[in-house]
């Protein structure tokens, strides 16, 4: 049973070690909201808003998420008794979408719940793996630069490689990469850069035997993806199109994809992520855990989620040092030979470094139950 004493929102900004570019956005500075929830017994849970500063991935932004948390979502939960993190789905159901804001507070409650139960977050979610395989993402840049990055990641033992593509940079770059690394477990992420008019171009990708092509068509589309999958040998993986377990069900039944990427922020939290995982497991659809350029707090949640049995494809969960000079958790999240150990300590299994948060913090909002009008 959880009775919330206080919620603290820390808005921080970090500089990425290397700017990240896809077909729909370019990120150099990463703004985040860290959600700290403290209950009446003194237990603390942590979550993170993984929206970006502009609405290029979903309609949410850091600014809109801050408003939703402060003015709508937190007032809904601070005066309630929460028996289990799953309860939040019912509490939040009257609020449409805004999944990244919902997921951040839900993640903190999951962490807090696991700590109160004296178990790891992985165990609380039903995870079975002690070690997870890791993949990496290579943003759009010059071909020599991408090949150099891949060479480094191959040396580090990563198990899956994802490159960003667009109609302006796809076949040639994949061809060049495959010449250098013919057996590389490679996938391509299009971030909705194509339409059905590009079907012949997309069919050319079949020759490279990619693991999958992720989200080639519109983010709000399931039907056209089914038409495209009929014409491709390469498996389609859906990302932005899947924001709920119901979306996943429809996509599977229509044949819109053969793989699904699960990001807790995109689908509204760990509870919905688990529902999608369980559905896909029953339908023999493999899943993997996507990344959002997160801090170590969300990365820790993703590690726990990826310990579930049907996460059979290495996810976008790599070492913190790929992104940050100094991460927010201790010990630093580190992949060794392309694998990360699933923490056995209670909660997320990492200590949050408040000194680093204070250095990066741009604003602080403290919300007590007494501050909320009845």
Q: Which residue has the tokens 């590009």?
A: 198
Q: Which residue has the tokens 């109609």?
A: 167
Arithmetic mean of pLDDT, 106-134: 98
pTM for this prediction: 0.94
- pLDDT tens readout for residues 43-89: 999 999 999 998 988 899 999 999 999 999 999 998 788 999 999 99
- pLDDT tens readout for residues 263-318: 999 999 999 999 999 999 999 999 999 999 899 999 999 999 999 999 999 999 98
Q: How far is CA 252 from CA 225, 233, 261, 263, in A?
A: 11, 17, 13, 17
Q: What is the pLDDT of residue 215?
A: 97
How far is Cα 163 from Cα 214, in angstroms, rounded to an integer?
10
Residue 351 designated active-site: no
Q: Superfamily assignment of 123-349 in CATH?
A: Enolase-like C-terminal domain (3.20.20.120)
Residue 262 makes CB contacts below 8 A (sequence gap 6+) with 242, 273, 276, 277, 287, 288, 289, 290, 305, 311
Arithmetic mean of pLDDT, 319-327: 83
Q: What is the pLDDT of residue 79?
A: 77
Map out the domains of the chain as residue ranges: 2-118+352-371, 123-349
CATH topology agreement for domains 2-118+352-371 and 123-349:
no
Residue 331 makes CB contacts below 8 A (sequence gap 6+) with 350
Residue 164 designated active-site: yes
Using pLDDT thresholds of 50, 70 and 90, give the confidence band for residue 139.
confident
Arithmetic mean of pLDDT, 312-333: 89
How far is Cα 212 from Cα 357, in angstroms, rounded to an integer?
37
- Kindly name the residue from 102, 115, 263, 275 that is annotated as catalytic: 263
Measured in degrees and rounded to the nearest 5, phi and psi for residue 330 equal -130, 140
- pLDDT tens readout for residues 200-253: 999 999 999 999 999 999 999 999 999 999 999 999 999 999 999 999 999 999
- pLDDT tens readout for residues 23-50: 555 677 899 999 999 999 999 999 999 9
How far is Cα 270 from Cα 190, in angstroms, rounded to an integer?
25
Q: What is the pLDDT of residue 326?
A: 87
For residues 116-134, one letter each, b for 16 or more C-beta atoms within 10 angstroms of the residue's C-beta and e for the rest, the string is beebbbbbbbebeeeebbb
Using pLDDT thresholds of 50, 70 and 90, give the confidence band for residue 141.
confident
Q: What is the pLDDT of residue 20?
A: 62
- Kindly name the residue from 102, 164, 274, 275 that is annotated as catalytic: 164
Which architecture characterizes domain 2-118+352-371 according to CATH?
A: 2-Layer Sandwich (3.30)
Q: What is the pLDDT of residue 306?
A: 98
**Pairing mode, strands 287-289 and 259-262:** parallel
């Amino acid at each position: 049973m959880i009775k919330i004493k206080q919620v603290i929102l820390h808005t921080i900004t970090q500089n990425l070690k290397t700017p990240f570019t896809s077909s729909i956005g370019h990120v150099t500075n990463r703004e985040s909201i860290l959600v700290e929830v403290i209950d009446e017994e003194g237990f603390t849970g942590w979550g993170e808003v993984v929206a970006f500063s502009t609405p290029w991935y979903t309609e949410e932004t850091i600014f809109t998420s801050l408003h939703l948390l402060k003015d709508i979502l937190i007032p809904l939960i601070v005066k309630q008794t929460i028996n289990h993190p799953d309860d939040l789905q019912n509490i939040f159901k009257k609020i449409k979408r805004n999944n990244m804001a919902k997921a951040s507070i839900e993640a903190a409650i999951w962490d807090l719940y696991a700590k109160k139960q004296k178990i790891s977050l992985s165990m609380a979610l039903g995870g079975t793996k002690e070690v997870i395989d890791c993949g990496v993402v290579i943003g759009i840049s010059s071909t020599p630069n991408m090949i150099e990055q891949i060479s480094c990641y191959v040396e580090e033992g990563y198990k899956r490689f994802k490159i960003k593509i667009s109609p302006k940079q796809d076949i040639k770059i994949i061809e060049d990469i495959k010449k250098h690394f013919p057996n590389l477990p490679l996938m391509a992420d299009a971030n909705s850069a194509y339409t059905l008019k590009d079907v012949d171009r997309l069919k050319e990708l079949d020759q490279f035997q990619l693991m999958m092509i992720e989200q080639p068509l519109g983010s709000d589309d399931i039907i056209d993806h089914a038409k495209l999958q009929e014409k491709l040998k390469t498996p389609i993986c859906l990302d932005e199109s899947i924001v709920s377990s119901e979306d996943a069900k429809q996509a599977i039944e229509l044949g819109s994809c053969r793989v699904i990427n699960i990001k807790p922020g995109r689908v509204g939290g760990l509870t919905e992520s688990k529902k999608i995982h369980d559905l896909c497991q029953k339908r023999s659809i493999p899943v993997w855990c996507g990344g959002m350029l997160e801090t170590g707090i969300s990365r820790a949640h993703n590690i726990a989620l990826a310990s579930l049995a049907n996460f059979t494809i290495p996810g976008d969960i790599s070492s913190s040092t790929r992104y940050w000079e100094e991460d927010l958790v201790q010990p630093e999240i580190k992949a060794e030979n392309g694998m990360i150990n699933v923490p056995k300590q209670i909660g997320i299994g990492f200590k949050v470094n408040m000194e680093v948060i204070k250095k990066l913090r741009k604003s602080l909002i403290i919300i007590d139950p007494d501050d909320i009008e009845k």
